[in-house]
Each structure stands twice: as C-alpha cells, then as structure tokens.
Structure 1
Amino acid sequence: MSKNALYTDLSGYYDLMCADIDYLAQSNGVRRLHQLFGNEGLNHLDLACGTGPHVRRFIDFGYHSSGLDINQPMLDFAHSRCPEASFALQDMCDFRFDQCFDLITCFLYSIHYSAGLEKLSACIRSAHESLNPHGVFCFNAVDKNRIDNRRFVSHTTEHNNSTFTFRSGWHYPGEGDAQSLKLSITRTTGDVSQAWHDEHPMVALGFEDLRSMLAPYFEVHIFEHDYERIVPWDTVSGNALFVCVKL
C-alpha cells in the first residue's frame, strides 16, 4: 500500500478507527486553553482535519471553523458532517487563506505528518503567518526520546455485521529525525478476516527541540496531555499539548 492508502482508499473506515476518541473532551479542552491564552476571536482552522469531527465541535461552540487536509475523500466526509464549514485541499506545511484565524488546531499528533524538520518548520511558519495578533496555535506531540516501540493501542468495534479491530503504535529507530506510525485494520465477517497494514513516515524530535523551533514565532506553553485539566508539562512524560501564542 502507498504511505497514505489508509487515509484515502480506506477513508470510509476512518471514523471507525477513531471511534474511541473523545472529540468533545479534546475540543473543549483546547477551547479552554484558547480562552485563557487567546485574543477572544472565533475564527478557527483545523489542520489535517480528516472527516471533520473536531470542526463539528468547534462550530457547536460558536466558532467560525474551517479545515484543511491533503486527502479529498476525507474532506468529502467532512463537508457532509459540517456543511456550514469551509474546507480546503491543502498541505498543512504550506497553506494560504484569504483570511487570518484566531485559533489554529492540529489534533491526533498530526503535526508529525510534516515529514522532516524542514517541512515542520514550514508548517510552523504557515501557522504563524495565518494567525491574527495574539492568535493561538495548539497541537499535541510526542517526544521521540520517550517512545516505547513495544507499545501499541487497539480497540474493537462493530459495523455492518462485521467486527473491526484497529491497532496503532509509534516506532522510532533510535536516531535521526524520522519515526513512523504503524497502523493496522482487521475486519472479520463470520469466519472470514481481512487485514490492512500501513506505516506512515513522520517527523521525530524532542520537546526541547520543538520548543526551539517555535520560539522565534510564538510564546510557547507546554502542558500535560490531559484535556480535562490544565497542568504544566512535568518534563518527563512523552506526550504533551503545545499552546503557542503569536508574538
């Protein structure tokens, strides 16, 4: 399969794959951070928006939301879910809009899809240029130095008389700025099982390196990866929320 096959050919399974994600809690947690650190504006852009579940929540909160993604099948689903939103087929590492935003989000560790440090730097610059004064860029990230290659997460759900099992895990080879996200889907109908496997190349870096990349453009705040509480990063955990206020 091509590196993006899971998100194009199998895009119809994306919502099932993410069925265990609490989109409301994630969106509400970021909304609270935006209220604390932002400029009180309500123009919102979601990078790598997928099928639009976070966009849906922000619209329900009263934001004027837009989304971008590099895969048109995802955007087709997103438009069906959020007909009042605007969606654009763009690369989050080099995007342009006629308007500026007060909040730019990037959920589900999608910031790492900026394959390579140069691309990640371009993503950061694009976000900075697209924000209004004192706008907020908020995303979650994983520290390459704290990845356990043995750890996978999985969940199972039922759909159309079939059982689906989804499994994912990070893999970092131990050096360099490249890591991968390993994904698999198994569908079982009766006694017949089918499986898809994919491995996505992603950028790898430590949190201090990421902070340094952001610092020329943003006032950077790092919090524990907890959407229910606002707790400063303990400098130990390998997952964190970055809240970046435009300088």
Structure 2
Amino acid sequence: MPSNAIYTDLSGYYDLMCADIDYSAQSSCVQRLQQLLGNGGKRHLDLACGTGPHIRHFLDAGFQSSGLDINQPMLDRALTRCPEAQFSLQDMCGFSASQPFDLITCFLYSIHYSASIERLNACIASVHSALVDGGLFCFNAVDRQHIDNGSWVSHNVKHADSLFSFSSGWHYAGTGSQQALKLRIEKNTAGERQVWNDSHPMVAVRFDELLALLAPYFDVQVLEHDYDRILPWDRVSGNALFACVKLC
C-alpha cells in the first residue's frame, strides 16, 4: 500500500490546505449526475475520501455514504466529521466491499494516486466489481498532454496565530506514464517560518488512454470540468469530469 508522508504528518492541516475547494458544488453536481445517468440509488462510496468533507455533503443529502483511504489519521478525522458513515483503511486499487454501491466517487484528481497504468486499471476493475449494474462512477482527471509544469495553484489561510500558504502543481517530464503532484506548505507564526515540500508519484494518462481502460467496464460520458453546469467536454481542455455507468 503506497504511503504519502505529507498527508500523514500534516493531516491536521489538510482541511486548511483544501479550504478554497467548493465541496458543496462538487457533491451537488455528482448527485445530479446520479439522477440523470445513474440509477438514482443512495448507496455511496467515496474513494480516497481524506477527512470526509464530500461524504458530509452526501450524508446531508440523504445518501448512505462510506469512505476509504490509505491514511488512518485522515480516516480518524473523517469519522469525527461523519460519525454515521462507514470508513475503511483500504487501497482504492484493490478494495473489497461488503455491499454493492449505486454510486462511487473519487474527487480532487485522486484517481491519479493509482500511480501506474496497471494500478489504475486495477482501480477501475475494483470499482466495477463494487457497483450494481447501472451504477455510476464519477471522478475528475487531467490529460498529461495539457500539463503546464510552471502552473501552480496557491492560497493563504489564517488559522489560530499562524498564516499558512499552500501551493500545488502538476509536473510531467514529457514522456511515459508517470507524473508528480508537487506540494508546498509554508507556516508563519510570530516570525518563525516552517516549510514542507513533497512530491507524490501520480499516474499520467491521455484521455484517449483512460477511455480505453474504462471501455470494457463502463458507458462513459466525458464532461466539462464545471460543477455548476453539466456540459459535454469541449475536447480542448486538459481537465474533465468522467461519468461512467456500469455495463450490465
């Protein structure tokens, strides 16, 4: 099971790092897709669930939600946030489910944590096995051909007596199926500065390759990466939302 040290060591800062994410909009969009494309069922599993913010929104919308992650400190926080949910310490590239699900999600580009094409294919197969016929698998992904190594996303958050600066960016060497997610956290407290840097191995795929992996298992709709509107992917953007209905 792969480990991601920054998430273990700094799991207490994870929600601050993601403070600019609109979890409500993302969750609501997928709930609409479940009504439009899926079976409308309420049994939900979130892969790489982290501290459970998406699960909280699904629970509040009436879903019977569960989550899995490879990081126990994250799951501990998720259970505090969502005590009525079920959580398990599992690898999304080879997980087992005690019940079938109507909807499986994987937000925040976490599908790339599969780290290799082989493990990505295993993740897709595991999701297929865990879904009922007609069940929906939703995730977002980035096309390696569109990665700008110089593009970073950053935001600042004040917490207690400290100012945090969070930055993240993709890096692709230009060949192969490996890329990296680079992370930087800076904490300033009363003139004292601490910095954490990390680089996570991620799988790099073209969208046509990803569609080929999904094709044996799912009927796939590729959508614009826009959680406010449901639109077909423009075939230009390097970010997209994948809505995959399990083939019977």
Q: For this structure pair, what is the TM-score category when the shorter chain's length is used for normalisation?
A: over 0.9
Alpha-carbon distance in structure 2 between the residues aligned to 1:7 and 1:246: 32
What TM-score results when the alignment is normalised by the length of structure 2? 0.98
Is the 8 Å Cα contact of residues 3 and 200 (structure 1) preserved in structure 2? no
| Correspondence for 1:147 | 147
Summarize deviations over 1:57-112 as a string: whole Å, max 9, x none. Answer: 00001000000000000000000000000000000000001100000000000000
| Percent identity of equivalent pairs | 65
1:198-213 mapped onto 2 (5 Å cutoff) = 198-213=198-213
| Correspondence for 1:65 | 65
Alpha-carbon distance in structure 1 between the residues aligned to 2:244 and 2:237: 19
1:235 is aligned to 2:235: yes
Is the 8 Å Cα contact of residues 3 and 201 (structure 1) preserved in structure 2? no
1:211-226 mapped onto 2 (5 Å cutoff) = 211-226=211-226
Q: CA deviation at 1:3?
A: 6.0
1:245 is aligned to 2:245: yes
Alpha-carbon distance in structure 2 between the residues aligned to 1:132 and 1:7: 32
| Correspondence for 2:37 | 37
Summarize deviations over 1:215-236 as a string: whole Å, max 9, x none. Answer: 0000000000000000100011
Structure 2 portions without partners, runs of 5+: none
| Correspondence for 1:22 | 22
| Correspondence for 1:54 | 54
1:81-160 mapped onto 2 (5 Å cutoff) = 81-160=81-160
| Correspondence for 1:192 | 192
Question: How many pairs are equivalent?
Answer: 246
Alpha-carbon distance in structure 2 between the residues aligned to 1:63 and 1:124: 22
Alpha-carbon distance in structure 1 between the residues aligned to 2:34 and 2:233: 17
Q: CA deviation at 1:133?
A: 1.0
| Correspondence for 1:12 | 12
Letter in 2 for 1:31: Q
Q: CA deviation at 1:115?
A: 1.0
Summarize deviations over 1:144-188 as a string: whole Å, max 9, x none. Answer: 000000000000000111000000000000000000000010000
What TM-score results when the alignment is normalised by the length of structure 1? 0.99
Is the 8 Å Cα contact of residues 3 and 199 (structure 1) preserved in structure 2? no
Q: CA deviation at 1:6?
A: 1.1
Alpha-carbon distance in structure 2 between the residues aligned to 1:146 and 1:3: 27
Alpha-carbon distance in structure 1 between the residues aligned to 2:208 and 2:34: 22
- Aligned partner of residue 68 in structure 2, secondary structure: strand
Is the 8 Å Cα contact of residues 145 and 206 (structure 1) preserved in structure 2? yes
CA RMSD of aligned residues (A): 0.9
Letter in 1 for 2:140: N
Is the 8 Å Cα contact of residues 44 and 64 (structure 2) preserved in structure 1? yes
Letter in 2 for 1:70: I
Summarize deviations over 1:93-145 as a string: whole Å, max 9, x none. Answer: 00001100000000000000001000000000000000011000000000000
Summarize deviations over 1:184-204 as a string: whole Å, max 9, x none. Answer: 100001211100000000000
| Correspondence for 1:169 | 169
- Aligned partner of residue 8 in structure 1, secondary structure: helix
Deviating runs (4+, > 4 A) in structure 1?
none
Structure 1 portions without partners, runs of 5+: none
Is the 8 Å Cα contact of residues 182 and 200 (structure 1) preserved in structure 2? yes
- Aligned partner of residue 44 in structure 2, secondary structure: strand
Alpha-carbon distance in structure 2 between the residues aligned to 1:228 and 1:155: 22
Alpha-carbon distance in structure 2 between the residues aligned to 1:62 and 1:26: 16
